[in-house]
Chains A and B, each alone.
Chain A
Amino acid sequence: DPKIIQKPKYLVAVTGSEKILICEQYLGHNAMYWYRQSAKKPLEFMFSYSYQKLMDNQTASSRFQPQSSKKNHLDLQITALKPDDSATYFCASSQDGAEQFFGPGTRLTVL
């Protein structure tokens, strides 16, 4: 489904570096989210935004910072990358609390 775009599809980074994961949705939704899926943990909620305002943050580390420059964008900046950050990061969107539609994911590997 090309209506939720995530870039890049794959990303390799070195420990200590900084990366930005891009998410754009063209479904006209007012809420956007980030989730993380790794081999060690099930799908894990990170952030939710509604009308470009933070609703919920379940990420303990301030190294993860969402950025919403436009209503249909929610990028994820990750600083001081660690190998444990290796995971697939999924963006999703919904209209209010209705069903969430997921993007294809960005697979991040930190060496």
Chain B
Amino acid sequence: GEQVEQLPSSLIVQEGASVLINCSYTDSASVYFPWYKQEPGKRLQFIIDIRSNMERKQTQRLTLLFDKKTKHLSLHITATQPGDSAIYFCSATSNMGYKLTFGTGTSLLVDP
């Protein structure tokens, strides 16, 4: 089955810095890649997604890049704020049964 890996597992940055979170997947049948953010004790919150027919998607301070050939995604967050502190999860689905396979998460801490 699909396997999703994320790196790094944790990041600590100063407020205002940019961060890059990398994600790789194994199943070439995966076509949809939503990303989620989870603050401590809270629900997963959808932040951005991309489909396999796209290479790039941007929303406010988030840019998501997708490389189908290498099965790799990267999430770029600019001008980080303390409110960005959370665990970020990459996920992938082939849409068969709509099952999302999640990565192990990247814990981001933004120091004010």
Chain A residues at the B interface, C-beta cutoff of 8 Å = 1, 4, 31, 33, 35, 42-45, 48, 50, 55-56, 58, 90, 92, 94, 96-97, 99-105
Contact = CB atoms under 8 A, between A and B. Distances in A.
A33 B104 contact: no
Contacts of A42: 89, 102-105
Given A99-B49, A100-B46, A104-B43, A94 B103 contact: no
A97 B46 contact: no
Number of chain B interface residues as a range: 20 to 34
Contacts, number: 60
Contact of B97 (A1, A56, A92): A56
A55 to B, nearest CB: 4
Given A55-B98, A101-B46, 6 more contacts: A42-B103, A43-B105, A48-B97, A92-B44, A97-B95, A100-B98
Contact of A100 (B34, B97, B103, B105): B34
A56 B96 contact: yes
